[in-house]
Structure 1
């Protein structure tokens, strides 16, 4: 009888400890999610209010053997209150891509809209939602990478704090809420002082590391907005890479939503 009482007491204690462990784990997850969202929200807040911008960009494509080719393009961007940003990219060089134009309307609550105009066929093609993981103009950036960062597109989880390139950073996991995203998860390193992205890892649908984005040479504009002057995307599975080098950037140039209409693609030269 004493044996059975001891066993029953031990069982009840085990159940109690298990319940405490499950509750503790749930509380930890909730805390990590709240902290991740807090960091991402501050990151977004610090990059609000810039209005519009124009950039001259050099794209460097590099294959697995290190052979390079280059493209030059212009990028226009417009901040939209209550929704995601607008962006128009027009290619100027080399001749075989001159006049190609890519337009993105990022949204916060519905699917993004993206269109590509190719002068060789003189037509505008809408990028299907299920194709957003495809390569943007043969680069290592996907179409979905070209959309603006919107909080509603992810679930967040704070992972840890660690030093990266001499900076103290927050490491935050971002789980895309869009089933058509090409990524199972994204891990971002955000510096703790200015909330600037320093590095991003992208994992494919099998949860294998696909790409790493490194951001360099930050410059401050309008005494408030930080922008990286070089973005380097390395594809770990193919060995290919793409650099985007920002040669010039200007803000508040007077752009309006009319400059980002679909009809703007065909008249962009």
Structure 2
């Protein structure tokens, strides 16, 4: 599952990998590209977390729409669980999505539509995620064996030294993208500041940028995620307005069954309803 949550990670020695290459004329990297991606993807993010995010969708004409959601995350030995529950606007209130990480296989993903009063399995990870510029694949964790890796260069991004690494999709990946280019901080945090997405023709089709990074204990969480789709001129901005880490989230609250419950029944942690009310106070639909 691809996560928006970000944490620090300590450096450790790496081994050379057969599918990691360095372009001609480039300086050999201090770390192997696959190892850097693996650390970035598997960075610890706490045992659990709860976030409140406001999402702004902007079309090519500059027309904006806002959405609000709660994001519950729970780490598990079998695989991480993530539940997103929308509370704003009224037209999508109580829609929910759920991602269950499956080790060495495709994640299981579900969508709950309150109008139909049922949960359904998401049939394709290429589908758009609730009308945004993200797709369900963007919520999944990268399966490392479905990609090959190439170290491009060491560069600077937002004032930080970064490893620039290309991940090229193997046919087994069934990915919507032919290549992803990662910009991962070289300061030991393995924070992915930026990801560029390319199609099979080598055209840049989408870009994700993460900024305004803040520490919560030893955890680093970005406050702002910007997603640009260059094919249609659309943009999605996710602003994390509230987050708590390691709150002791019960497993029952991050489940398919929980998807079907009304937002009013999301009462953990205790102040979550106050957070939702404050976020929507004064907003006009």
Post-superposition offset of 1:152? 4.7
- Tell whether the 8 Å contact from 2:83 to 2:255 is kept in structure 1 after alignment: no
Give a deviation string over 1:186-221, Cα, whole Å, max 9, x none: 111011112211110011244321100011100111
Q: Which has the higher contact order (CA 8 A, sep 6+)?
A: 2
> Per the alignment, do residues 28 and 241 of structure 1 end up closer, same or farther by CA in structure 2, a change over 3 Å counting?
same
Counterpart for residue 235 of structure 2: 241
User: Which residue number corresponds to residue 39 of structure 1?
Assistant: 36
Q: CA RMSD in A?
A: 2.2
Distance in structure 2 (CA, Å) of the matches to 1:155 and 1:31 = 9
Give the 3 Å change call, closer, same or farther, for CA 238–163 of structure 1 in structure 2. same
Q: Deviations over 1:67-125 (max 9, x none)?
A: 100001000001223x5421000000100000100000122311110000011111111
Residue 44 (structure 1) shift: 4.1
2:167 to 161, 168, 174: 174
Structure 1 residues 12-91: aligned runs within 5 Å: 30-32=20-22, 35-44=32-41, 47-48=43-44, 50-81=46-77, 83-91=78-86
Aligned length: 238
CA contact (8 A) 2:20 2:33 kept: no
Q: Which has the higher helix share?
A: 1
What secondary structure is seen at the aligned counterpart in 2 of 1:96? helix
Which whole-Å CA distance do the structure 2 matches of 1:72 and 1:29 have between them?
A: 41
Q: Distance in 2 between matches of 1:260 and 1:78?
A: 7
Structure 1 residues 141 and 87, CA gap change in structure 2 (3 angstroms): same
* Contact 1:52 1:252 (8 Å CA) reproduced: yes
Give the direction of change, closer, same or farther, for the CA distance of 1:108–1:160 in structure 2 (3 Å limit).
farther
Equivalent in 180, 186, 209 of residue 186 of structure 1: 180
| Partner residue, 2:247 | 253
Q: 1:201 & 1:231 partners in 2: Cα distance?
A: 13
Residues 84 and 148, structure 1, Cα contact 8 Å, conserved in 2: no
Q: Residue in 1 aligned with 2:11?
A: none
Of 205-214 and 182-191, more deviation after overlay is shown by 205-214
Q: Distance in 2 between matches of 1:205 and 1:122?
A: 39
Normalising by structure 2, report the TM-score: 0.77
Q: Distance in 2 between matches of 1:251 and 1:220?
A: 11
- 1:43 Cα offset (Å): 2.5
How big is the shift at 1:37? 1.3
TM-score w.r.t. length of structure 1: 0.82
Would you say the 8 A contact 1:58–1:247 is kept in 2? yes
Given that 1:218 and 1:228 are in contact with CA atoms closer than 8 Å, whether structure 2 keeps it comes out as yes
Segments of 5+ residues of structure 1 without an aligned counterpart are: 1-26
For the structure 1 residues 164 and 78, does the alpha-carbon distance in structure 2 shift closer, same or farther, using more than 3 Å as the test? same
Distance 1:232 1:57, change over 3 A: same
